[in-house]
Chain A
Amino acid sequence: QVQLQESGPGLVKPSQTLSLTCTVSGDSIRSGGHYWNWIRQHPGKGLEWVANIYYTGSTNYNPSLRSRVIISVDTSKNQFSLKVSSVTAADTAVYYCARGKLELRDFYAYDMDVWGQGTTVTVS
């Protein structure tokens, strides 16, 4: 059974850098075949995709967050991480990590089949 678990500080001061880690169990990031994602959800709002990464280090970012976000992977620890710099109250959200798969059929198909429970980050 594949499980993802987010970890990181629940409180970050404005202008600082938010750092989160997702630990994967039941699957090996190094085995390939999946992208590893961060998604966030502002209080009472919808889902916002932040970034994803492949085990090779290849990354994709939400264009609206690209300038402040770095996603990285540590295959030796079976973890991937997110850093968001210069945070403001607008970065207060529940942050989820999720496993995704990108397939090319007639067109590209991308979906996320395993999600972590989420971790709440407050910027204050």
Chain B
Amino acid sequence: SYELTQPPSVSVSPGQTASITCSGDKLEDKYVCWYQQRPGRPPVPVIYQDSLRRSGVPERFSGSNSGNTATLTISVTQTMDEAVYYCQAWDSYTGVVFGGGTKVTVL
């Protein structure tokens, strides 16, 4: 089955740039989307089709996908961006696949 791998955690200082990676075999041959989840809340879609921002998502969120790695970048990170971020892709055999999630800490 297809797998997506994310680092468990990323720390960033306020105002700096956070980069969250998502790795998978030939991931550039799939479209990746990203979700943000705050504690006790359902996931909120952030990025779809690798780099398109969902309506209402701040411009500081951007996405890319090349080779075996997709990246969610949060520029000028704010304390409100502290959350767990999940990547997700579609695999023809496995169906919907999520990465394990990356907890972003802003400190």
List B residues 22-62 near A (Cβ within 8 Å).
Answer: 29-31, 33, 35, 37, 42-45, 48-49, 54
Are B101 and A52 closer than 8 Å at their CB atoms? no
Are B54 and A49 closer than 8 Å at their CB atoms? no
- Chain A residues with CB below 8 A from B86, complex form: 46-47
Are A107 and B29 closer than 8 Å at their CB atoms? yes
B21 at the interface (CB under 8 A from A): no
A96 at the interface (CB under 8 A from B): yes
Q: Tell me the nearest residue of chain B to A115, going by C-beta.
A: B42
A74 at the interface (CB under 8 A from B): no
- Chain A residues with CB below 8 A from B92, complex form: 108
Contact flags B54-90 to A (C-beta < 8 A → 1, else 0): 1000000000000000000000000000001010111
B12 at the interface (CB under 8 A from A): no
A60 at the interface (CB under 8 A from B): yes
Range class of the B interface residue count: 20 to 34
Q: Report if A108-B1 is in contact (Cβ < 8 Å); known contacts: A48-B98, A49-B96, A49-B97.
A: no
Report the minimum CB–CB distance from B91 to chain A (whole Å): 9
List A residues 83-105 near B (Cβ within 8 Å).
Answer: 96, 100, 102-103, 105
Q: Report if A107-B54 is in contact (Cβ < 8 Å); known contacts: A47-B101, A100-B96, A113-B45.
A: no
Are B1 and A63 closer than 8 Å at their CB atoms? yes
- Chain B residues with CB below 8 A from A61, complex form: 95
Are A49 and B1 closer than 8 Å at their CB atoms? no
Are A46 and B98 closer than 8 Å at their CB atoms? yes
- Chain B residues with CB below 8 A from A39, complex form: 96
Report the minimum CB–CB distance from A8 to chain B (whole Å): 16
Provide the bound-state CA to CA distance between A64 and B2, in Å: 12
- Chain B residues with CB below 8 A from A109, complex form: 31, 33, 48-49, 90
Q: Tell me the nearest residue of chain B to A100, going by C-beta.
A: B96
- Chain A residues with CB below 8 A from B99, complex form: 46
Q: Report if A113-B54 is in contact (Cβ < 8 Å); known contacts: A48-B98, A60-B95, A108-B92.
A: yes
Provide the bound-state CA to CA distance between A49 and B4, in Å: 13
B100 at the interface (CB under 8 A from A): yes
Report the minimum CB–CB distance from B31 to chain A (whole Å): 4
